[in-house]
Amino acid sequence: MSHRFLVLFDFDETIINESSDDAVVRALPGQQLPDWLKNSYREGHYNEHMQQVLAYMAEQGVSKESIHSAVEKIAPTPGLLALLQYLQSHQQDFELVVVSDANMYFIKTWLEHAGVCHLFRKIFTNPASFDASGHLVLLPFHSHSCSRCPDNMCKQVILREYLAGRQKERGGASFQRVFYIGDGANDICPSLALGPRDTAFPRRDFPMHRLLQEMQQNQPTKFKANVVPWASGEDIVDCLKKVMEER
C-alpha cells in the first residue's frame, strides 16, 4: 500500500524553534561570533559563510561533543512533536521528507535525539561530517539554474525530482496531495510547484507567510495551492484531520 500523501518539512524555525546555525554558535567560548565573521556574509552565499563559521569554531577548539550537545538542546517548535505523533499514528497514509538548507549532521543529531528520525523517508540538505581532525566540514547540496534561490539549493528542483522519482518507484502512482510546511523565503520556490489539491503551510508572521500574502495580492493566479498559516503544529494536525475525513 503506497502512501496517499506527501508531507515536506523545512527544518530551521519549522521543526525546531530557531536556526540550528545560531544555536551552535552558542558552543563558542564567548557564545557569539566576532563581528568580522558576522559581517563577511554575502547575500545568496549563506552556505559558504557557514563553512567559515564552522572552520572558525574548530580553530577556537569547540569539540564535536559541544556541537552535538548544542544541537540536541534546541527546542522544537510549539506543537511540532504533536504533529509528528499524529503523522506516526497514520504512517500508512503519510510519507515524510525534510528539505532544509541546514546540514545533515545538525538535522540527524536533532531528529535522533527527539526520537523521530525513523519517521522521515528522506532528508535533503547540505552534506556535513566531521573530518579526521574533528572539524565539521560543510558542503553545498547541489548546483542548479534557478535565479530565485541561493547557489547551493533550490528546493523546487528537489521537490520536482523527488515527485518524479517516487512516481516511477510507485508504478506511476502520484501522491493524492502534497503538503509543504515551512517558514522562510526559500520555502516559496518549492511551494510554487504545488497544485490546487495541495497545501502550503507557512509559519504565521514569518517571511514565507508575508511573501505569500504579497503574492496573493499582486499575482493571485501565480500561486495554485491552498495556503494555511500555522502558529503551532496543532494547527497543522487540525487541517490534516479534515483531509483524512474527506476520504
93 is in an annotated binding site: no
Burial of 223 (0-12, 13-18, 19+ CB in 10 A): middle
183 is in an annotated binding site: yes
10 is in an annotated binding site: yes
93 classed as catalytic = no
Residue with cell 547557489: 151
Q: What's the rounded Cα separation, in Å, for the pair 126 and 140?
A: 5
DSSP secondary structure, 79-121, as one string? THHHHHHHHHHTTTTEEEEEEEEEEHHHHHHHHHHHT-GGGEE
187 is in an annotated binding site: no
35 classed as catalytic = no
With H, G, I as helix, E, B as strand and everything else as coil, classify residue 31.
coil
205 is in an annotated binding site: no
Return binding residues.
10, 12, 21, 101, 183
Task: List, by residue number, the catalytic residues.
Answer: 10, 12
Return binding residues for substrate.
21, 101
Return binding residues for Mg(2+).
10, 12, 183
